[in-house]
């Protein structure tokens, strides 16, 4: 996930603006509805795949047995996909770009799903920030990859490209 700063380098910042409070508010937005929906839908699909075999079918109807097998395997696979996709999204870091301070922050979550700032990098000390297609990556002065994250949609990619053009 990429978060763009709500401040702009050419605009003045209000005197009562607190950067740490803004960062805390950004981190409080939970994705629990999305997570709960994925777990619920995955569980329903898995249970339905098993429950499909409780419906009786005539003994000599082999075609119906084959259809039930195909439908239950597809439902079980989709259910497992929804359940296992929950943890993968939580492992991806959140990237915040602050154009005012000219820095980039990498935010991750621990085992208890508590966010923490893993790293903070100044734009001047970075060798490369590359937006290629729907993938954002950055390297430090030593050539080590700082992060590499996929972008969700074209609007985020366009906003990020405009921000990177402004910073450069």
pLDDT in tens, 39-67: 899 999 999 999 998 888 787 788 888 99
Is 117 a residue whose pLDDT tops 60?
Answer: yes
Is 167 a residue whose pLDDT tops 80?
Answer: no
pLDDT in tens, 24-33: 555 444 556 7
What value does the mean pLDDT of the chain take?
75
Tell me what pLDDT residue 13 has: 42
Domain ranges of the chain: 2-29+92-167, 33-90
Distance between CA atoms of 103 and 112, rounded to whole angstroms? 27
| Best CA proximity match to 1, nearest among 143, 100, 114, 97 | 97
Is the sign of the CA dihedral 73, 74, 77, 80 positive or negative? Answer: negative
Is 123 a residue whose pLDDT tops 90?
Answer: no
Residue 109's pLDDT band, with cuts at 50, 70 and 90, is confident
Distance between CA atoms of 22 and 83, rounded to whole angstroms? 32
Is 139 a residue whose pLDDT tops 60?
Answer: yes
The CATH architecture that domain 2-29+92-167 belongs to is Roll (2.30)
CB-CB contact of 96 with 104 (8 Å)? yes
Is 17 a residue whose pLDDT tops 90?
Answer: no
pTM: 0.46
pLDDT in tens, 61-105: 888 889 999 999 999 999 999 988 876 555 667 777 777 888 878
As beta bridge partners, residue 32 has: none
As beta bridge partners, residue 76 has: none
Angle of helix 62-91 relative to helix 32-51, nearest 10 degrees, comes to 160
Is 107 a residue whose pLDDT tops 50?
Answer: yes
pLDDT in tens, 146-164: 777 777 777 777 777 777 7
């Amino acid at each position: 996930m990429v978060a763009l700063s709500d401040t702009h380098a050419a605009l003045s910042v209000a005197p009562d603006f607190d950067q740490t409070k803004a960062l805390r508010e950004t981190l409080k937005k939970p994705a629990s509805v999305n997570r709960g929906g994925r777990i619920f839908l995955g569980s329903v699909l898995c249970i339905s795949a098993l429950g499909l075999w409780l419906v009786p079918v005539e003994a000599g109807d082999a075609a119906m047995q084959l259809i039930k097998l195909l439908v239950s395997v597809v439902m079980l696979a989709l259910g497992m996909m929804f359940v296992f996709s929950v943890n993968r999204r939580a492992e991806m870091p959140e990237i915040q770009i602050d154009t005012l301070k000219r820095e980039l922050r990498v935010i991750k979550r621990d085992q208890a799903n508590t966010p923490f700032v893993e790293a903070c990098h100044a734009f001047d000390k970075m060798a490369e920030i590359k937006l290629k297609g729907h993938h954002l990556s950055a390297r430090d002065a030593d050539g080590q990859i700082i992060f590499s994250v996929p972008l969700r949609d074209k609007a985020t990619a366009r906003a990020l490209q405009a921000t990177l053009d402004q910073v450069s």
